[in-house]
Chains A and B, each alone.
Chain A
Amino acid sequence: MKTAIVLVIAVLAQAAGNTYLSKGMKELAASTAHGDQSLLWMGLQVLGSPVICFGTLLLIVFFLLFSAALSWEDLSFVLPATSLGYVLNLAFAHHFLNEAVSPTRWFGTALISLGVLLVAKSGSRSVQEALGTTSRVGQ
């Protein structure tokens, strides 16, 4: 249960973070289209954009929760599980950024969801330990 809660929050933070970052970078590109394009100036603008900073903060939250989950759960479980973020990212991009989503992409998200379902059914470490079928990672 702990794993599920942490991973759901992590994936939500990642998808929201990417959406904010994308929104911020697009706004930035639109506002600097005619002006100074030097890398330094772009860097300063990035730091000065609340939308981009908030997006980055959310991605840091994702990384912290991802690392925390890895402190008790298998990598081969956490990694595919967090790929549900792809599905959320696509939904967010479609809903909040009005991006067009091709049938290929929706099909891809369906495959990812199915894959995550299989990985979840393969049992988390805590479930495997309860069943006594896992070997401990050398610590």
Chain B
Amino acid sequence: MTFLMLLTNILSTSAGDVFITRGMKQVGEISTLRLRTLLGIAVRVLSNVNFLAGVLCMAVSFFSFLTVLSWADMSFVVPITSLAYVVSSFGAKFILKERVNPLRWAGTLLVCVGAALVSLP
């Protein structure tokens, strides 16, 4: 059960990342600081289906995280959930067609291991 909830957490986090990225790319590059333009962009973001799907996934991620924390130790849960870094990068490569070069993979792996170590007591 703990395993299933961890899997739900990792997959929903990564799906959320990918959906939000796709939504924001559809909205287009934000390159202004003018308040009125920013408000217009906010409306476009909040009515973007991909972005909303991403937020929904993030909500699932948050509540599955809280649930699993009530069952298991944080020093067990957080290192495992840091796998989401790697899963998100696979999503970026295969779904968003981003070009992930070997250097970026190496860096992402180090971050993943580091994040796991940081949350150990």
- A112 and B110 contacting across the interface, CB-CB below 8 Å: yes
Majority secondary structure of chain B interface residues (helix, strand, loop or mixed)? helix
Contact of B98 (CB < 8 Å), options: A76, A104, A116, A119? A76
A117 to B17, CA, bound (A): 21
Interface residues on B, range: 35 or more
A90: B residues at CB distance < 8 A = 118
B88: A residues at CB distance < 8 A = 75-76, 79
B5: A residues at CB distance < 8 A = none
A71 to chain B, nearest CB (A): 4
B19 to chain A, nearest CB (A): 10
Contact of B45 (CB < 8 Å), options: A67, A72, A112? A67
Known interface pairs A74-B92, A122-B101, A137-B97; A112-B111 also in contact (CB < 8 Å): yes
Interface residues on A, range: 35 or more
Residue of B21, B26, B31, B107 contacting most chain A CB atoms (<10 Å): B107
Binding site for A on B (CB under 8 A): 17-18, 20-21, 24-31, 45, 51, 85, 88-89, 91-93, 96-101, 103-104, 106-121
Instruction: Return the 6 tightest CB-CB contacts between A and B, nearest first.
Output: A108-B117, A115-B110, A118-B107, A111-B114, A112-B114, A119-B107
User: Can you list 22 pairs linking A and B with CB atoms under 8 Å apart?
Assistant: A71-B27, A71-B30, A72-B30, A74-B96, A77-B104, A79-B17, A79-B108, A80-B111, A83-B115, A86-B118, A102-B121, A105-B120, A108-B118, A110-B114, A111-B114, A111-B117, A112-B114, A115-B106, A115-B107, A118-B103, A118-B110, A135-B97
